[in-house]
Amino acid sequence: MPRGLRNNNPLNIRRSKSKWLGEVDSLNGKRDTAFCQFSSLTYGYRACAKLLQTYQIKYKLYVLDKIIGRWAPPKENNTRAYADRVAKQMTKELGEPISVASLLDICKDKATLRALIVSMHLVECGQLPTAHEREAINQALTML
């Protein structure tokens, strides 16, 4: 099982000083010192969604290559390959603007946000989300 799924953190959000809703110090008696661990997949996906929305609201990142460039920086990843795979899965162009949040309506386009999370899950976990994982994504999006 991929590390992200073991941690209920399928998009592999790194630990920071800030705590996410549903984040736990350890899971099943094991602590991952690098990546967040969540009490459930739903909380892991919710944190991903909130972070992706922050990229648009705070950092004004509206195109896939910029979003992925921040999520998976070149010093740690093959950012171009990551972005290419997400774009292909979403049937979007790298420079094509997408909307996952706006200041007036934080949940403006849940379908696009869902597609982005599913596509990033494919890259991070090596497979598309299962039916159980898709249900957790849907639950997470209702929590925004």
Residue 101's pLDDT band (cuts 50, 70, 90): confident
Residue burial 60-71, b: 16+ Cβ < 10 Å; e: rest = ebebbbbbbbeb
* Mean pLDDT in residue range 18-33: 96
Q: How confident is the model at residue 102 (pLDDT cuts 50, 70, 90)?
A: low
Residue 104, pLDDT score: 52
pLDDT tens for each residue of 32-84 = 999 999 999 999 999 999 999 999 989 999 999 999 999 999 999 999 999 99
Tally Cβ neighbours within 10 Å of residue 90: 17
- Per-residue confidence (pLDDT) for residue 105, from 0 to 100: 54
**Pair type for strands 37-38 and 23-24:** antiparallel
- Which residue ranges make up each domain of the chain? 3-142
Please identify which residue in the block is written with the tokens 């989300």: 129
